[in-house]
Amino acid sequence: MDLNGFSQQANHLSGSGQVTLGSAALTANNTVNSQFDGVMSGSGSLNKTGSGVLTLTGVNGYSGGSTLNAGRVIASQGQALGTGAITNNIGSVLQLNFAANSTLANILAGTGV
């Protein structure tokens, strides 16, 4: 999926494949639990909304950061949330569930858990 520089919302982001953000923001509105095994790239960002769990397993290279506004995000390895800063807001949970030794090198901010 190529956002072509236009911010988009994906309800229940799941599956695999390539998401090319460009400079756009992708809002993952997950109200049910899902897993995304694909790869996100570009200078854009990821916004997580919705009460469901989003599990990210891919080695993602997007650099615009991640904003967690609701629900839970499970990172299965250190590069699951790209290279930008992570803002974890009230109402959201960031869970590190690494399958092997890994390092989350992102800057963390926010008031979430």
Within a domain: residue 19? yes
Domain count of the chain?
1
What local confidence, expressed as pLDDT, does residue 57 receive?
A: 97
pLDDT band at 4 (very low <50, low <70, confident <90, very high): confident
Within a domain: residue 1? no
**Concatenated DSSP letters for 22-82?**
ET-EEEEE-SS-EEE-SEEEES-EEEEESSSEEEE-S-----S-EEE-SEEEEESSTTTT-
The mean pLDDT of the chain is 96
Within a domain: residue 43? yes
What local confidence, expressed as pLDDT, does residue 113 receive?
A: 66
| Model-wide pTM > 0.85 | yes
Within a domain: residue 3? no
Q: Which residue has the tokens 């109200």?
A: 31
pLDDT, tens digit (0-9, with 9 covering 90-100), for 9-59: 999 999 999 999 999 999 999 999 999 999 999 999 999 999 999 999 999
Rounded to the nearest 10 degrees, how much is the dihedral formed by the CA atoms of 106, 107, 109, 113? 40
Within a domain: residue 104? yes
Within a domain: residue 35? yes
Domain range for 105 is: 8-109
Q: How far is CA 85 from CA 15, 36, 104, in A?
A: 24, 20, 11
